Amino acid sequence: SEMEATQLSHLREELKKAKNLLTSSESSRIRYQLEAEETKRKLAAVSAKLDETEKQLEELSENEDARVRELRKISHDRDRAWQSELEAAVQRQHALDSAALASAMNEINKLR
Mind listing the pLDDT tens digit for each residue in 47-90?
999 999 999 999 999 999 999 999 999 999 999 999 999 999 99
pTM: 0.51
The long-range contacts involving 13-19, CB below 8 angstroms and separated by at least 24 positions, are none
